Chains A and B, each alone.
Chain A
């Protein structure tokens, strides 16, 4: 089955700096890779996703890159703000069913210091 590894587990940056979180996956058939932001006591919020036919996607300060050959994808947050502080999770589908179940990485606790 699918296995998703996420690094780092914690990340502290200064306000205005960039933050990068990386994930690797094992199932070469995976074709959907979402990223979530989870604040304390709340459900995960989808912030950006990418499908296997695209190498990069950007939405304002957030971007995701995908390298299918190497089976890794990354989240990039630029111009970080204190409100970006949260736990971020990557995920990948098990198999090639984009509507199928997601396997999650271990999470990254991002702290943005003002």
Chain B
């Protein structure tokens, strides 16, 4: 299947700082990528749809100014968690669509 690479796999940051997570489609182009958030023992919750060359579409309840999404090319989307707080600690996962829907390895964010 298609490969989606996410980096970093884990990050620890101080409260108030910003963290950038990268999502790359390695062997295919993706005009659309998706960002999910997952709390322990829970399902994946869609945060936003990242569209190449245009603004992201955010799900209801997701703060667009806090979770900045940039889809600058057909193979790269980034999620920046701005002014992170402990409640932002979570597992963030990106997805891109090829023939199927493939996911990155996820990023464990811990805000201390």
Contacts and interface: CB of A to CB of B under 8 A. Distances in A.
Most chain-B CB neighbours within 10 Å: which of A32, A43, A103, A106?
A43
B101 interface: yes
Q: What range describes how many residues of B lie at the interface?
A: 20 to 34
B43 A104 contact: yes
Interface in B25-78: 32, 34, 42-44, 46, 49
A2 to B, nearest CB: 11
Contacts, number: 46
Interface stretch (B12-20, B81-89, B104-112): B104-112
A102 B103 CA distance: 12
A82 interface: no
Considering residues B32, B101, B102, B103, which has the most beta carbons from chain A within 10 angstroms of its beta carbon? B101
Contacts of A45: 103
A42 B103 CA distance: 10
A36 B93 CA distance: 13
Interface residues of A, number: 20
17 contacts: A34-B101, A36-B103, A41-B106, A42-B106, A43-B4, A43-B93, A43-B105, A43-B106, A44-B93, A44-B103, A46-B100, A49-B101, A91-B101, A101-B46, A103-B46, A104-B43, A106-B42
Interface of B: 1, 4, 6, 32, 34, 42-44, 46, 49, 93, 95, 97, 100-106, 108
Interface of A: 32, 34, 36, 41-46, 49, 89, 91, 99, 101-107
Given A41-B106, A102-B34, 17 more contacts: A32-B101, A34-B100, A34-B101, A36-B103, A43-B105, A44-B44, A44-B93, A44-B103, A45-B103, A46-B101, A99-B32, A99-B97, A101-B34, A102-B101, A104-B44, A106-B42, A107-B42
